[in-house]
Amino acid sequence: MGGSGYGGAELLRLLLAHPAVEIAAVTSRQEAGTPVWKAHPNLRGCADLAFTAYDPAALERCDVAFFALPHGEAMGLIPELLQRGGPRIIDLSGDFRLKDAAAYPEHYGRPHAAPAQLAEAVYAIPEFFGEELRDARLVANPGCFATAAILALLPPLKAGLKVERVALAAATGSSGSGATPSPKTHHPERSEAYFAYKPLEHQHVPEILQAVARFRPAPLPFAFVTHSAPFVRGIHATLFLTFRESVDAAQLRETWRREYRSAPFVRVLDAPPDVRHVARTNWADLHVTARGDTAVVLCALDNLVKGMAGNAVQAMNLVFRLPEDTGLRSPGFHP
């Protein structure tokens, strides 16, 4: 649902190569009746599909439905599908990420239209909540910044280390703003620019803190500033952790290595990561260093893959009890 945008394009690219998937339909209000390759030229010759209008009755023959609609639209459609006993649903918008319906007017600018479904939605960070995804009916795919922040932040909290404060600065490429350009998101306006936006008030903050509360119920001081960067794909996040006492960098790095030893798509590196090395992949690369009572955790991932469509496919694999990495092992590009 909503297959004409960048998220839909990445989902299609990944699902067309997935050995357990057959794509039944791709919807788009604006593009209904148009061949998919006209919106996504990279898929020319890969899929004999045309966009269709949304038809909930047609979904009854499907096992899973991905929603890649703008924020606020899926919440009006998904309850009917759940009541009909239709397909498993994976929503890529922010509509079901937060458990507290009262938080939506502040962070997404509207009241929630389906608060009864919020408790059912499973928040999809497979590295921490993978068991909860098995057989889930409604999956809330995380935000791209939230994915980077949670992967960087949760290991020491889960290990019980005494983190006192957290500050996060993260930069995203122009594709993170979607396919429709605006004066602040159009790539020619960003190609040589670097600027902050939504300082201390980004909508991904509450979902990050919601995940933090699973492992640390006590409040954690958290400051977050997002930046617009002059590349197309990728997120580079710099997380500053202040501990109660001095920490050893090598020992601290082992906390992340232990946590992700069995994670198929998280790599803990000995050197700072580069967004170029994870572009178009489902990998997230981390590096940890420390001096005194301060640690810095760096995370690089592709905002459209691990930060969006790839994570959604990873969640789908777990929902249907497939090997978690099915269809997602493609390496990155170099150079």
CATH (domain of 261): 3.30.360.10
Same-domain pairing of 87 and 161? no
Helix axes 126-133, 144-158, angle to 10 degrees: 90
| Tokens matching residue 201 | 């008030």
At 314, which helix (H) or strand (E)? Answer: helix 310-319
pLDDT at 312: 98
Same domain, 15 and 97: yes
pLDDT tens profile 205-262: 999 999 999 999 999 999 999 999 988 899 999 999 999 999 999 999 999 999 999 9
Structure tokens at 56: 């909930």
Distance CA 277, CA 297 (A): 17
Residue 267, in any domain of the structure: yes
Q: Which domain holds residue 19?
A: 6-120
Q: Which residues of the chain have pLDDT under 50?
A: none
Can you tell me whether residue 196 is helix, strand or coil?
strand
**282 contacts 264 by C-beta, under 8 angstroms:** no
Model pLDDT, residue 136:
96
pTM of the model: 0.95
Same domain? For 211 and 299 the reply is yes
Sequence-ordered list of residues with C-beta below 8 angstroms from that of 220, at least 6 positions apart, any chain? 157, 163, 165, 166, 209, 212
Looking up tokens 């940890």 gives 288
pLDDT value at position 184?
Answer: 66
Domain for residue 125, yes or no? no
Q: What is the number of structural domains in the chain?
A: 2
Q: Which residue has the tokens 């005494």?
A: 162
**Whether residues 42 and 183 fall in one domain:** no
319, part of any domain = no
Burial 276-301 (b: 16+ CB within 10 A, else e): ebbbbbbbbbbbbbbeeeebbbbbbb
- 1 is a domain residue: no
46 inside domain:
yes
- Per-residue pLDDT at 180: 67
What pLDDT shows up at residue 314? 98
Catalytic residues: 144
Residue 309 maps to a domain = no
Q: Select from 260, 333, 328 the least CA-distant residue to 11.
A: 328
Identify the pLDDT of residue 179.
63
Do 74 and 148 lie in a common domain? no
Q: Are residues 185 and 265 in the same domain?
A: yes
